[in-house]
């Protein structure tokens, strides 16, 4: 009888702490794309991130193996918004499941619920994360560093890399802690009204930064000039007096229109733009 009691106590799940969740996020951050596989994508990275937590929760070898297998099914998402949030949520759900198993309660957190939670969130959170991190924040750091790069400073190359990596590490930690604290309801917090305001603000800031980059680093000017009734007319001077920067704006707008109509075919856009500019330069317009 005492051996049975001792066995039960030895199988009791340990409490998952905030430090455990932070370490799980750190492991996922560094392992994110390393075990990338065609059939599983980055699920081995998530499983490896959760391993210390799962070992604290499941003392029985068979239960631990089953937990590993649950997190080796297909999984793919964006690093910080998706990966951070889902890492925290999975830690929370696994803790509830382990406690239910130990206490002999009905299992409310079954395998299907765990996987459906991941599959339901990974795409939605990846869409938000990609548009904000890769589509906005990354280019804000690049825009800040461009003057240093043009001046030949190494900070121009290091600043975007270091600060963007640090930003993703910090925001991913916040989302992991949020996911663990709120469980499945964390997703509604990530896409809630408060976060929506932050996203809208970053999007507006990103548009400003793209406008600044286009105005300062897209150089297109006209060399067209003609004489009319003894008076010289230089088209670029006229454009500068009426609407400075109109040619760079039209160039950027044309590329954007191409992407909208044809998709993000960067190589095709570069080739087409080069041909158009070369022809206009050859006939003396640019």
Name the pTM for this structure.
Answer: 0.69
| CA neighbours closer than 13 Å in the CB half-sphere of residue 139 | 19
- Take residue 211 and report the two structure tokens written for it: 């406008």
For the segment 98-132, what is each residue's pLDDT rounded down to a tens digit?
A: 888 888 878 888 888 888 888 888 888 888 888 78
DSSP string, 99-118: HHHHHT---SS-HHHHHHHH
3-state secondary structure of 227: strand
For the segment 56-97, what is each residue's pLDDT rounded down to a tens digit?
A: 999 889 999 999 998 998 899 889 888 898 999 899 889 888
User: Alpha-carbon distance 181 to 146, whole Å?
Assistant: 39
pLDDT at 3: 43
pLDDT at 2: 40
Tell which wins on pLDDT, 45 or 123: 45
Mean pLDDT computed over every residue of the chain? 79
pLDDT at 168: 92
Tell which wins on pLDDT, 260 or 40: 40
Q: Residue 25 pLDDT more than 80?
A: yes
Rounded to an integer, the average pLDDT of 12-21 is: 89
pLDDT at 198: 55
- Take residue 33 and report the two structure tokens written for it: 């794309």
User: Alpha-carbon distance 39 to 83, whole Å?
Assistant: 18
Q: Residue 54 pLDDT more than 90?
A: yes
The dihedral built from the CA positions of residue 26, 33, 40 and 175, taken in this order, carries a sign that is positive
- 20-34, 74-88, 191-205 — which is least confidently predicted? 191-205
């Amino acid at each position: 009888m005492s051996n049975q009691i001792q066995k039960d106590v030895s199988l009791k799940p340990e409490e998952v702490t905030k430090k455990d969740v932070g370490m799980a996020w750190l492991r996922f951050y560094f392992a994110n794309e390393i075990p990338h596989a065609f059939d599983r994508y980055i699920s081995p990275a998530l499983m490896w991130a959760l391993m210390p937590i799962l070992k604290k929760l499941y003392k029985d070898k068979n239960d631990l193996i089953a937990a590993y297998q649950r997190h080796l099914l297909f999984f793919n998402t964006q690093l910080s918004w998706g990966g951070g949030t889902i890492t925290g949520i999975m830690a929370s759900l696994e803790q509830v499941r382990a406690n239910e198993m130990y206490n002999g309660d009905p299992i409310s957190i079954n395998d299907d619920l765990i996987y459906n939670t991941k599959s339901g969130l990974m795409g939605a959170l990846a869409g938000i994360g990609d548009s904000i991190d890769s589509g906005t924040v990354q280019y804000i750091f690049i825009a800040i560093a461009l003057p240093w790069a043009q001046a030949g400073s190494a900070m121009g190359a290091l600043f975007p890399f270091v600060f963007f990596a640090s930003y993703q590490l910090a925001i991913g930690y916040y989302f992991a802690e949020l996911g663990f604290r709120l469980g499945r309801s964390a997703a509604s917090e990530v896409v809630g009204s408060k976060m929506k305001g932050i996203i809208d603000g970053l999007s507006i800031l990103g548009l400003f930064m793209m406008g600044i980059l286009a105005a300062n680093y897209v150089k297109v000017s006209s060399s067209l000039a003609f004489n009319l009734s003894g008076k010289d007319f230089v088209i670029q001077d006229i454009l500068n007096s009426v609407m400075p920067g109109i040619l760079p704006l039209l160039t950027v707008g044309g590329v954007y229109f191409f992407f909208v109509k044809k998709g993000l075919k960067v190589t095709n856009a570069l080739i087409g733009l080069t041909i158009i500019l070369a022809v206009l330069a050859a006939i003396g317009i640019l």
